[in-house]
Amino acid sequence: MKPNNIYPPQRTPGMNCPRCRNFISTSIDELLSADYLRCPTCNLQLNIDRNNSRKALNTLRKVGEAQKLVEKNSKFNG
Ligand SMILES: [Zn+2]
């Protein structure tokens, strides 16, 4: 398998699990479309409250769009 992700994982979106404190990595697309996240370590289900999270989700959406632009414009690398 050839990795096609050229970005270092320093901006991996996600959150720390409130139960086991393990970092739950996800993707912006997943956050925008999924109803909940599940911690892979302790299986805690974290519901995404879209009403209360609307501002954060809008910010995420903008970040996601910006990242896609960056992927297209490789001259911004580095
Ligand atoms: Zn957990």
pLDDT tens digit string along 27-56? 888 888 898 899 999 999 998 888 888 888
Number of domains, the chain:
1
6 assigned to some structural domain: no
45 assigned to some structural domain: yes
Confidence at 18, pLDDT banded by 50, 70, 90: very high
Alpha helices in 1-78 (DSSP H): 28-33, 54-72
49 assigned to some structural domain: yes
User: Ligand 1 mean position to 67 CA, how many Å?
Assistant: 28
1 assigned to some structural domain: no
User: Ligand 1 mean position to 23 CA, how many Å?
Assistant: 8
54 assigned to some structural domain: yes
7 assigned to some structural domain: no
Interstrand relation of 23-25 and 36-38 (parallel, antiparallel or unpaired): unpaired
What residues sit around ligand 1, an ion, with C-beta below 5 angstroms? Answer: 17, 19-20, 39, 41-42, 44
Q: Is the pLDDT of residue 74 over 80?
A: no
pLDDT at 10: 56
Q: Which domain holds residue 26?
A: 13-76
